[in-house]
Structure 1
Amino acid sequence: MSGFYLQALLKIIGISAASGISYSDGLIHLVSDNGNYLYEYPLATGLLSRHLLRDGIPTEQVAKAQKMDLEAILERDDAIYVFGSGSTPARELGFAISKADKRIDTLPLHDLYEAMRSVAGIGPDDFNIEGTAAHGADWLFLNRGNGPGGRNVLFTVHGINLTENFQLSYDEIDLPVIDGLSYGFSDATVAGDTLYFIATAEAGNSTYHDGEVGGTLFGAIDLLGRTTAFTRVISRSQKFEGIASYTTASGMASFLLCEDNDDATDTATVYRLDVEL
């Protein structure tokens, strides 16, 4: 990575605490870590729509103890997948949403997340799934190392099935400590055999409580060798929690980022990150 350019692309009114983003065919999809909706935003019209994933009182600005903590989203084949963080039992749910008719299937994730904790030897205080991506037939889940053990882990679920008879492997990923703050995975997207990721730094060591924001870095992992190709700080003051591939050209890749500013405002800003590779 030789250079980058980061700029605010658009503001979407009606979403707070955006925590995950996907993009395809002119449609941006987002989730919020304190809401129960899948949000859909067509770039052509700018008209936001909501798809309720699970009913509740309330369905937005849900209290921390009750929220599903939806942190990860990806599009695969004919569906959009959304996953809770697993940092508490209430957050061990996922959803598969049909692109064709928006039919919603609920995915119980306790067994999968328990298998992840077991195979990697991660305790509940260190388990916090913040991102997901697909590579071939496999699923990739990223555990954010913001717990006391600082465990940044890349889990691979081999094959399509997420609810039974799954096979798991994992890789420990070392991320830098900068100005005394450790960085932890916040999301990722795949292009070819490369996992492009973002990671954030916060004061404190808790998968539950937010700390003072220390910035965001962007990096890449070679999925064939499972080695980190590079990392680069892209902001010292913002906490980007979602990344999606946007456009690619020779020697250049563009991504969409969403920011969680840890407040109750109902506006989400989507940024464009252009990277010289």
Structure 2
Amino acid sequence: MSYTKELLQQTYSLSVEDIDATLTASGLPFDQPEYSDEEIQSRFDVIRQLIKLGKTYKQAAAHFQRQQKKSVEKAEFPPMNILEMLTHINLEYGIGLELTEAIEIMAACGLSPNQKEYRQLECDRFLEACDLIKEQGLTYKDVAAHFGINNNGTNPDSNAQYLTDQITNVAVTSEAGLAHLVDQVTEKRAEHVSGLVNQMYLKNVISKLASSQDEIKSFYAGLEERILDQIEGKSPIKAIMQGQWQITPLPSFSEKPMLLPDASESDTNTD
């Protein structure tokens, strides 16, 4: 069966303005000639139910869009902690929550605010509870009844305090870790300071030397002259060249003449 706008007016006893507003909120064009049973049941009727619950057309449209988006999400997202879950719901569905308010909603739908992470089914449960309270105006007691939760004996304030303490501890631990990291890094870098000072000193020395080559040449030329003068005054080579070495005298001989044998002695011996 298909529906025209005139048939919808008769079936639901609505004005043309209400028919157009309902069709627009459900994502259907209001100038379409006919609408199928599936379109009316899955879209038009959903908006009319929300309107009966006291929603405005704008609120009903926002709720319907969130439900549509949720129904087409097939890939399961990874587990999230409570802060990540609140951020996800705010970005994807436009529902902004304070932390204490989120804890109360969790208690109403049977979730513990003390969990480290929440899986998709738990996030979907929490999202449904948020929609019932924030969009449809149900009380926490009504939501608890909807999920079959008995909250007798629970204390939302204690849950909020527990979660606050946990977040505080995590923050303090993170800051302590950051301070330790900064201290370690700066200590390691400080080990290179002495070498850095030496390198910078040598760099500046080399720079100064390079910029005063003429002065350096003059300095070393004068230094060379002074060194040669001192060496010249003490050099044995110079003394040799000037004949200042003392000549060692030869050993002296006796001036007494050597006696020759007598002639008579010579004759006697010959006889």
Could you say whether these structures have the same fold, taking a TM-score greater than 0.5 normalized by the shorter chain as the test? Answer: no
Structure richer in helix, relative to its length:
2
Give the TM-score of the pair, scaled to structure 2.
0.20
Q: Which has the larger radius of gyration?
A: 2
Structure richer in strand, relative to its length:
1
Give the TM-score of the pair, scaled to structure 1.
0.19
